[in-house]
């Protein structure tokens, strides 16, 4: 049987620098499993995308080891290069929201075995058209805590994990302002002053939003939209938090939830967005759409 040729893109700084310390062990696990493994190390933002665009078509499997931002770069490289190569993910970041949503193994050695088994599912991705076209694997968001993921220093992420995002977010609370937006989708119009908005294909977003299993299907050719309006008093804020904690949005006038394959977002001014935790700029009009079954994602046999 022909040996699989695996491209492994490693973020050496993610998650207590796990990749820096153990990348050779991971590569050896792949080789012991009967595969060839070539290591690529990222040093700056965008390296993962560049590596895939340059060399990705030479490999049978493309895998990455790092956090959600590393996965985002690899997905961008694959979609920009029109590659349908199986994609594996070894989550070693600080939060790993998408990995948790996909029920990926948290132990790297088991993740390697799952990648070698190569059980794939064609899942959806998102296209983000702002100042330039980009892609996201699981979420495009704006508003409260959006900047936290890319502003939080890496040493702080490595030391405190998910708590670091909350600590950084609390520091930014005084700067949070509601943004007036109009969203058009499927003949519906949503308009208001929103503290937060997310367009996603994941059951978990930043640990702040968690959907139930019935709310999200990563292959249903749709994205989930969640908008949170600015509350007028503390009791309204409590009602919002209660709805988020229980994944229950019906009857709450401050939360809008729907599904669609395309959204047009109009803003009064340019908006800062986060794509899978990575910074993105937008013009006053942004188009967010679902790209159907575009990622050949490797999932565990037990998921």
Cα dist. 124→56, 86, 127 in Å?
20, 14, 10
**What are the tens digits of pLDDT across the range 86-132?**
999 999 877 778 888 899 998 999 999 999 999 999 999 999 997 77
Residue range 133-293 forms a domain whose CATH class is: mainly beta
Q: Which residues contact 28 (CB under 8 A, 6 or more apart)?
A: none
Please report the beta strands in the chain, taking only residues with DSSP state E, as ranges in sequence order.
Answer: 4-10, 35-41, 61-66, 87-91, 120-129, 133-136, 139-143, 179-185, 188-200, 204-205, 209-210, 223-229, 255-260, 262-267, 271-275, 278-282, 285-298
Does the domain at residues 4-126 carry the CATH identifier 3.40.50.10330? yes
CB-CB neighbours of 142 under 10 Å? 24
pLDDT score of 252: 87
Residue 136 CA to residue 149 CA, distance in Å, equals 15
**What are the tens digits of pLDDT across the range 27-59?**
999 999 999 999 999 999 999 999 999 999 999
Domain ranges of the chain: 4-126, 133-293
Describe the crossing of helices 108-117 and 14-32 by its angle, rounded to 10 degrees.
Answer: 50
pTM: 0.86
Residue 214 CA to residue 120 CA, distance in Å, equals 21
Place of tokens 């153990």: 22
Contact 255, 249 (CB under 8 A): yes
Q: Which residues contact 228 (CB under 8 A, 6 or more apart)?
A: 143, 144, 194, 195, 196, 197, 240, 254, 255
Tokens representing 269 are: 């001014």
Contact 2, 24 (CB under 8 A): no
Q: What is the pLDDT along the chain (303 residues), one digit of tens a residue?
A: 578 999 999 999 876 777 788 899 999 999 999 999 999 999 999 999 999 999 999 999 999 999 888 999 999 999 999 999 999 999 987 777 888 889 999 899 999 999 999 999 999 999 999 777 899 999 999 887 555 444 555 555 545 444 444 444 445 444 567 889 999 999 999 999 998 899 999 988 866 677 877 788 999 999 999 998 988 887 887 788 778 777 777 788 999 999 999 999 999 888 888 898 888 877 789 999 999 999 999 999 776
Residue 299 CA to residue 122 CA, distance in Å, equals 10
Q: Coil, strand, or helix at residue 238?
A: helix
């Amino acid at each position: 049987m022909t040996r699989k040729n695996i491209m492994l893109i490693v973020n050496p700084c993610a998650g207590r620098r796990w990749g820096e310390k153990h990348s050779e062990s991971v590569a050896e696990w792949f080789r012991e499993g009967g595969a060839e493994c070539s290591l690529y190390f990222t040093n700056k933002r965008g390296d993962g995308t560049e590596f895939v665009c340059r060399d990705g078509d030479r490999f049978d499997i493309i895998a990455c080891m790092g956090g959600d931002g590393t996965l985002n770069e690899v997905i961008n490289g694959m979609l920009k290069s029109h590659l349908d190569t199986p994609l594996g993910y070894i989550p070693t970041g600080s939060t790993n929201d998408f990995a948790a949503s996909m029920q990926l193994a948290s132990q790297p050695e088991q993740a390697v075995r799952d990648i070698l088994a190569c059980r794939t599912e064609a899942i959806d991705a998102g296209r983000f058209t702002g100042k330039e076209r980009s892609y996201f694997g699981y979420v495009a968001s704006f508003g409260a805590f959006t900047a936290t993921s890319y502003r939080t220093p890496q040493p702080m992420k490595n030391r405190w994990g998910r708590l670091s995002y909350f600590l950084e977010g609390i520091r930014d609370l005084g700067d949070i302002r509601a943004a007036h937006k109009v969203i058009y989708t499927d003949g519906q119009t949503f308009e208001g002053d929103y503290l937060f908005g997310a367009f996603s294909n994941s059951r978990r977003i930043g640990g702040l939003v968690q959907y139930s299993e019935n709310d999200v299907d990563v292959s249903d050719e749709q994205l989930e939209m969640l908008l949170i309006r600015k509350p007028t008093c503390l009791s309204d804020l409590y009602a919002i938090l209660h709805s988020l904690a229980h994944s229950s949005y019906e009857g709450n006038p401050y939360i809008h939830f729907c599904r669609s394959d395309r959204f047009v977002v109009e803003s009064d001014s340019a908006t800062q967005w986060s794509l899978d935790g990575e910074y993105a700029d937008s013009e006053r009009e942004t188009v967010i759409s679902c790209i159907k079954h575009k990622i050949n994602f490797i999932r565990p046999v037990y998921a």
